[in-house]
Amino acid sequence: MQETLKRLEQDAMSALEKADSLERTREIEGEYLGRNGHITMILRGMKDLSDEEKRVVGPLCSATRTTLEEHFAKKIKIFEDKALAKELSKEFFDTTIPSSTRPLGHIHPLSQLQEEVERIFSQMGFTVTDGPEIESEHYNFESLNIPKDHPARDMQDTFFIQEKDDADHGRMVLRTQTSPVQIRAMEKYGAPLRLIVPGRVFRFEATDASHDSMFYQVEGLLIDKDISLAHLKGVLAEFLTRLFGKPVKVRFRPGYFPFVEPGLEVDFSCLLCEGKGCRVCKHSGWMEFMGAGMVHENVLKAGGIDSKEYQGWAFGFGLTRLVMMRYGIDDIRLLTNGDLRFNKQF
Ligand code: DAH
């Protein structure tokens, strides 16, 4: 029996060696390992053997079958691979042609800076909020202590989008500043408050390199008990230092805005010369940054906040101007004209 097996294995192997096609290999496989193949028949005949014989022949038979199965599988794979390679060689495939790539979109420098500003103020406990871009005269002016016919209205040239006067809210305008959101937030949340408002504002301006009819501002408002301008100075210095990644100093000068008293102009130390004086800061060592001040009593009143108990400060700066200062952009119109050659640089 053992010899029969040995011989069968040798026969199968030499037949396999001679096989020169996939079909022929499959045929020989059938002859030995198929349903009525030689090896299969021996395995099937095992049941007639004595237990002792089974113990010897059984494992031998299985081993022979496994060996043959492996050899057949190997040879079949060789033929199949060859067939596949032949199939593929019919199609010409030039692996040196550059693939077509889809250009990735990318975040506008204004949005990048806005996200950074939001992140830093959030870390300092400020809420980020917004309000409508189409606003009433009431919110945009009156509630901010800028009464009708007050000369301060001329500080901001306004797009009026409604002729008729509403008794309570006046005409509708495109908001000229983010400050009206101060009142909306006071009405909605009451005191204490700590928030920033990034957003678009609109001015009826002739466009040039430093003026556009739309730009971005960030409003800030903090209302609580025992608040002073020292807190404002600290918050702004911390904000600018985190934003620019190096120590920045802040300076206050007196300024006029109807909704604050006292009102301030805020400068920060020139980023380029760090206060020594250079061409960028016109040799002053300082960059003009924004308007700010202690929130006017009338404004707190308009927002429904008890000015005996609470006080606070507010500020407003131009996000668009800050982007321009940061990257040395000399024409505001570049930011909104949609030219990808510009946008891709940031
Ligand atoms: N709204 C002012 C503007 O657009 C900027 C401003 C100044 C905002 C002083 C403030 C502030 O909150 O206190 O020119």
The CB-side HSE value for 34 (13 A sphere, CA atoms) comes to 10
H-type alpha helices, the chain: 2-18, 22-33, 38-45, 51-90, 109-123, 137-140, 180-189, 229-244, 297-302, 319-327, 340-343
Pocket test for ligand 1, best of 232, 257, 300 (most atoms within 8 A of CB): 257
| For ligand 1, atom 3: residue with the closest CA | 177
| For ligand 1, atom 13: residue with the closest CA | 292
Residue with tokens 């204490």: 192
Q: How confident is the model at residue 112 (pLDDT cuts 50, 70, 90)?
A: very high
Give the domain ranges of the chain: 2-88, 109-343
CA of residue 41 to ligand 1 center, whole Å: 98
CA of residue 217 to ligand 1 center, whole Å: 9
CA of residue 28 to ligand 1 center, whole Å: 93
Does residue 163 carry a pLDDT above 90? no
Residues 214 and 199: beta-carbon distance below 8 Å: no
Q: What per-residue confidence (pLDDT) applies to 4?
A: 84
Q: What are the tens digits of pLDDT across the range 3-13?
A: 888 888 898 88
- Give the distance between the most distant pair of CA atoms in the chain: 120
CA of residue 232 to ligand 1 center, whole Å: 14
| For ligand 1, atom 4: residue with the closest CA | 177
Pocket test for ligand 1, best of 135, 259, 321 (most atoms within 8 A of CB): 259
Query: Within 6 Å (CB) of ligand 1, which residues are found?
Result: 177, 179, 219, 257, 260, 291-293, 314-316
Does residue 1 carry a pLDDT above 80? no
Q: What are the tens digits of pLDDT across the range 248-306?
A: 999 999 999 999 999 999 999 998 888 899 988 899 999 999 999 999 999 999 999 99
Neighbours of 142 (CB within 10 A): 20
Atom of ligand 1 nearest to the CA of 155: 14
CA of residue 44 to ligand 1 center, whole Å: 98
CA of residue 292 to ligand 1 center, whole Å: 6
Q: How confident is the model at residue 58 (pLDDT cuts 50, 70, 90)?
A: confident
CA of residue 257 to ligand 1 center, whole Å: 7
Q: What per-residue confidence (pLDDT) applies to 99?
A: 86
Q: What per-residue confidence (pLDDT) applies to 141?
A: 96
What value does the mean pLDDT of the chain take?
92
Q: What per-residue confidence (pLDDT) applies to 227?
A: 97
Atom of ligand 1 nearest to the CA of 220: 12
Q: What are the tens digits of pLDDT across the range 331-341?
A: 999 999 888 88
Is the domain spanning 109-343 CATH 3.50.30.10? The answer is no
Q: What are the tens digits of pLDDT across the range 236-257?
A: 999 999 999 999 999 999 999 9
Q: How confident is the model at residue 114 (pLDDT cuts 50, 70, 90)?
A: very high
DSSP 71: H
* Whole-structure pTM value: 0.72
